[in-house]
């Protein structure tokens, strides 16, 4: 309950446009904190609308190219939340996020992979609703994304021998 009041207070004091402005800063730590706060706020439908109306989708998509995986992850998570709204989904597609999110499926960070998967399902799933075989296509998309994640994890464990894979 407290976090809901905090999100409302952040909205009421127009924190979202200020946080969006910080996404363009040269300081990586400030950028990471700002996108992390936007990720937190974006679970609220009013914050989603405010982010979209403040032209925040373009800067968030640009952060998917960041060298900092935590920034990419938070940007993907924010886009995942924003993509639950139809108007935002369309803008996210128009900004070229789909290939960038797809690239994150093989990222070194599991959180980035999961957020990218959720965003892609939200962005592409409703498009499939317009086809006669919508249910089968959505299921196939989910399975494809799941396989991509699994292959990425196996690749890291077998070929890159990451510490998380040690038995």
Say which CATH number the domain at 9 has.
1.25.10.10
Q: Would you state the structure tokens that stand for residue 86, as one six-digit string?
A: 């139809």
Which one is predicted more confidently, 140 or 100? 100
The rounded distance, in Å, linking the Cα atoms of 34 and 22 is 6
Measured in degrees and rounded to the nearest 5, phi and psi for residue 42 equal -75, 0
Structural domain total, the chain? 1
Reported as half-sphere exposure (CB side, CA atoms, 13 A), residue 9 has a value of: 6
The confidence score (pLDDT) of residue 86 equals 93
Q: What is the pLDDT of residues 97-130, one digit of tens each?
A: 999 999 998 888 888 988 998 999 898 877 666 6
Give pTM, 2 decimals.
0.79
Checking if the pLDDT of 37 tops 70, the result is: yes
**What pLDDT, on the 0 to 100 scale, is given for residue 88?**
96
Query: How far apart are alpha carbons 75 and 34 in whole angstroms?
Result: 10
* Model confidence pLDDT, tens digit, residues 60-72: 999 999 999 999 9
* Phi-psi group of 10: left, alpha or beta (phi > 0 → left; psi -120 to 50 → alpha; rest → beta): alpha
Q: What is the Cα–Cα distance from 111 to 119, expressed in whole angstroms?
A: 12
| Residue 88 domain boundaries | 2-165
């Amino acid at each position: 309950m407290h976090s809901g009041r905090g999100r409302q207070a952040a909205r009421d004091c127009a924190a979202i446009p200020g946080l969006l402005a910080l996404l363009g800063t040269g300081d990586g730590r400030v950028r990471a904190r700002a996108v992390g706060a936007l990720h937190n706020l974006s679970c609220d439908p009013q914050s989603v609308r405010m982010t979209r109306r403040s032209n925040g989708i373009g800067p968030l998509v640009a952060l998917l190219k960041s060298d900092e995986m935590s920034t990419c992850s938070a940007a993907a998570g924010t886009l995942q939340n924003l993509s639950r709204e139809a108007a935002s989904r369309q803008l996210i597609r128009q900004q070229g996020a789909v290939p960038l999110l797809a690239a994150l499926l093989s990222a070194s960070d599991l959180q980035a992979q999961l957020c990218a998967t959720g965003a892609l399902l939200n962005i592409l799933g409703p498009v499939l609703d317009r086809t006669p075989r919508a249910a089968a296509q959505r299921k196939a998309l989910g399975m494809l994304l799941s396989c991509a994640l699994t292959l990425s994890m196996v690749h890291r464990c077998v070929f890159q021998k990451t510490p998380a894979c040690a038995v």
